[in-house]
Copies of this chain bind each other. A is one copy, B any other.
Amino acid sequence: MAAKANPVPSVWTRQQSAPDQPALSRTAIVREAVVMLDADGIEALSMRKLGARLNAGATSLYRHVATKDELMELAVDEVAAEITVPPADAARGGAGWRAAATEAAASFRATALRHPWLSSVLGQAGLAYLGPNLMSYSERLAALFTAAGFPEPSRAIDTLLSYVIGMSTTEAAWLTTVARSGDTEGEFIARLMPAAQQAAAGHDHLAEAYADAAVRAPVDPVALRDAKFAYGLDVVLDGLEMRLPR
């Protein structure tokens, strides 16, 4: 409103505050950091590059963010908002909790694969983040498993999350390696196979497993990974179901 006041005689000399960018704000910084992380991986993110991307100097970012580690915390909490958890009501029936848990797990995995750097950060800093989105995520999980009837919901959650984190981390790291190679997943497997089989020489079970993978994996690696995740998830859910009082 006060911006309408024109201290300069000519309209043309008056730049409308910031014509290109909506200034430099904490949320804008975090959002752009996530974009860069998604695009080029975790080691490609530097404060200078991030600043440049925002038409700003590197050190300007420190007005809104204390340190790079804090920026990473914020980025983690930012993408944590994407993880969905079905409402607790879905679990109250008795059979519904399994579908709900499956859906929650799938959402976590999808998010972790969409932002492969997430696993790296979690591996280094853990889950002690306390960001609002992560908190509300934990809360919804707790509500779901409490409604399902688990006497110790946090135990069940820890178990499920450990499996999902472990699988997603491994998968994300794999996909990062593949992406960095420039090949498609099938090509990369084909190119890696000789080395793997040679390294497995003398290890009978491994050699057999690799021989299996050599013929099955190039067909549809994505479906294979999906199936692997679903298998382990069912195992965990079966085990949890046994703990559910009937």
Residues of A that sit less than 8 Å from B by CB: 42, 119-120, 122-128, 130, 132, 135-136, 138-139, 142-143, 146, 153-156, 158-159, 161-167, 169-170, 173-174, 176-177, 192, 195-196, 199-200, 203-206, 209, 212, 228, 231-232, 234-240, 242-243
Q: How far is the CA of A176 from the CA of B170 in the complex (A)?
A: 21
CB distance from A211 to the nearest CB of B (A): 12
**B132, B142, B159: the one within 8 Å of A232 (CB):** B159
Judge whether A235 and B236 touch: CB under 8 Å.
Answer: yes
| A173→B126 contact, CB < 8 A | yes
Query: Would B153 and A163 count as touching, CB distance under 8 A?
Result: no
Pick the contact of A169: B122, B136, B159 (CB < 8 A).
B122
CA distance A234 to B238 in the complex (A): 11
How far does the Cβ of A164 sit from chain B's closest Cβ, in whole Å? 7
User: Smallest CB–CB gap between A177 and chain B, Å?
Assistant: 6
Q: Is the CB of A123 within 8 A of B173?
A: yes
Contact B228 A155 (CB under 8 A): yes
Residue of B nearest to A126 (CB): B173
Closest to A134 in B: B199
Asked whether, in the complex, the Cβ of B236 is within 8 Å of the Cβ of A124, the reply is no
User: Is B195 touching A130 in the complex (CB atoms < 8 A)?
Assistant: yes
Min CB–CB distance A102 → chain B (angstroms): 14
CA distance A97 to B146 in the complex (A): 33
Shortest CB distance A219–B (Å): 17
Please give the distance in Å from A122's CB to the nearest CB on chain B: 7
CA distance A128 to B232 in the complex (A): 20
Please give the distance in Å from A46's CB to the nearest CB on chain B: 15
Complex Cα spacing A119 to B162, Å: 13
Contacts of A203 in B (CB 8 A): 135-136, 138-139, 142
Q: B206 touching A139 by the CB < 8 A rule?
A: yes
A209 to B141, CA, bound (A): 12
A127 to B196, CA, bound (A): 12
Contacts of A120 in B (CB 8 A): 120, 123-124
Say how far A186's CB is from chain B's closest CB, in angstroms.
Answer: 15
Instruction: Look across to chain B and name the residue whose beta carbon is closest to the beta carbon of A198.
Output: B130
Closest 4 CB pairs of A and B: A123-B123, A166-B166, A126-B173, A142-B205
